[in-house]
């Protein structure tokens, strides 16, 4: 191709390059806008998640405080129901009444066998006594426990509602993020198609850029160097003409021509495919980092769901324990104490001065029992049931 013809095509090449650059800038602007929207959505999602986590943390603290208060109330109620002197007197009176009706405590095993037989069919001792006795205090306690259970159920319902709202918000944010990802994928596909179309003209555009750089930079590119490049090209063309239909290795001439261009331009010549591959690797790395962060947030939410389920199970178990404890009457405690005293599971100490009585049950560690009376500081002695009956 002659120089005038090449020079005539230079404006057309420059116009084509300008159009392609404008289209590339437009696509880059679209991508930047999409990235900005994705960033705003992520920030909004992170703020919402942080607020939900803070609120759930406060609710968890409130639930733990409530559980601690309920446990304290349970301990206080247990301490009030310990065996005292009044309970021992009631136990002795009950034993006397049973003896007057022909029921002796030594034969309580028969009654226990009947209760065990009924327990096989769901009729436990506390349930039988609750049907046979009417105690006003027990009814009041049951009403109070039922009221507390109702309050806990209301709070649990409110917590479930808040959790449902949080999950709904999360699903909406997740759906919006998925839409943005689809939009980003679509833009990337359009960009890839544009790059592919541009790639079809890469050779012509890159060669034009190289020739323009060679011809414009007169201060760096000397005429001798251009003539040397022309002689190299002339050698290649003459070789093709003289050795048609023959296998010719143009590697040495190609390397010489590339070296001459790099020396003249002062730049390293690389292929466009290599640059695009490096850019794609960087984009994939950033995308993988973003997905890993979303995975961590998903694991944190799973741990919070497990913690809420554990708290709900503890509240349910505590409510069941309250109901069982409320149905346990004083007479049942005395009957159980009498039965275990005969089996040496419950021990009774007695003061000779002030007639103070105290019963206690051994635990897993050895214990010798109290030695001094808390009322008169007298010595406490261990008594059997027969001894207590005689003293009474």
Residue 93 has a pLDDT of 78
What distance in Å separates the CA atoms of residue 322 and residue 138, rounded to the nearest whole number?
A: 12
| Region for residue 378 given its phi and psi (left: phi exceeds 0; alpha: psi -120 to 50; beta: otherwise) | beta
CB distance 347 to 360 below 8 Å: yes
- 138 against 379, higher pLDDT: 379
Most confident of the following: 168-172, 252-256, 285-289, 387-391: 168-172
pLDDT tens digit string along 267-303?
Answer: 666 666 666 777 777 676 566 555 555 556 567 677 8
CB distance 3 to 230 below 8 Å: no
What distance in Å separates the CA atoms of residue 336 and residue 341, rounded to the nearest whole number?
A: 8
Tokens describing residue 192: 């890839």
373 pLDDT exceeds 50? yes
Mean pLDDT confidence for 259-264: 66
CB distance 366 to 129 below 8 Å: no
What distance in Å separates the CA atoms of residue 124 and residue 369, rounded to the nearest whole number?
A: 32
- 147 against 360, higher pLDDT: 147
SS3 25: helix
The residue with tokens 């961590």 is 296
Residue 345 has a pLDDT of 55
In this predicted structure, which of 16-25, 244-253, 300-309, 341-350 has the lowest mean pLDDT?
341-350
pLDDT tens digit string along 94-138?
Answer: 777 777 766 666 666 666 777 777 677 666 767 666 655 655 555
* pTM, to two decimals: 0.22
CB atoms under 10 Å from CB of 241, counted, come to: 8
349 pLDDT exceeds 80? no
385 pLDDT exceeds 50? no
68 pLDDT exceeds 80? yes
């Amino acid at each position: 191709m002659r120089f005038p013809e090449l020079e005539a095509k230079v404006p057309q090449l420059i116009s084509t390059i300008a159009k392609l650059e404008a289209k590339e800038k437009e696509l880059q602007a679209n991508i930047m806008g999409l990235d900005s929207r994705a960033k705003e959505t992520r920030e909004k999602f992170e703020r919402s998640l942080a607020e939900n986590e803070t609120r759930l943390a406060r609710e968890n603290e409130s639930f733990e405080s409530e559980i601690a208060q309920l446990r304290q109330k349970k301990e206080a109620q247990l301490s009030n129901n310990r065996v005292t002197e009044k309970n021992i007197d009631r136990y002795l009176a009950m034993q006397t009444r049973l003896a007057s009706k022909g029921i002796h405590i030594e034969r309580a095993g028969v009654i226990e066998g009947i209760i065990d037989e009924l327990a096989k069919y769901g009729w436990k001792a506390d349930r039988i006594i609750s049907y046979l006795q009417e105690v006003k205090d027990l009814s009041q306690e049951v009403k109070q426990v039922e009221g507390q259970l109702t309050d806990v159920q209301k709070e649990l319902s409110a917590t479930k509602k808040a959790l449902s709202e949080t999950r709904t918000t999360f699903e909406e944010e997740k759906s919006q993020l998925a839409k943005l990802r689809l939009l980003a994928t679509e833009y990337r596909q359009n960009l890839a198609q544009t790059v592919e179309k541009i790639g079809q003209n890469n050779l012509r555009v890159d060669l034009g850029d190289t020739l323009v750089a060679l011809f414009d930079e007169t201060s760096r590119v000397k005429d001798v160097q251009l003539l040397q490049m022309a002689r190299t090209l002339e050698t290649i063309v003459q070789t093709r003409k003289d050795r048609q239909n023959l296998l010719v290795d143009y590697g040495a001439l190609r390397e010489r021509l590339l070296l001459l261009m790099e020396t003249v331009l002062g730049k390293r010549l690389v292929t466009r495919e290599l640059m695009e591959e490096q850019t794609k690797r960087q984009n994939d790395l950033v995308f993988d980092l973003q997905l890993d962060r979303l995975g961590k947030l998903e694991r944190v939410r799973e741990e919070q769901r497990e913690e809420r389920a554990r708290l709900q199970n503890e509240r349910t178990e505590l409510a069941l324990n309250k109901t069982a404890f409320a149905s346990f009457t004083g007479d049942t405690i005395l009957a159980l104490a009498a039965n275990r005293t005969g089996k040496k599971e419950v021990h009774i100490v007695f003061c000779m001065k002030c007639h103070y009585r105290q019963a206690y049950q051994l635990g897993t560690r050895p214990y010798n029992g109290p030695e001094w009376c808390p009322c008169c500081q007298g010595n406490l002695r261990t008594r059997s049931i027969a001894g207590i009956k005689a003293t009474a």
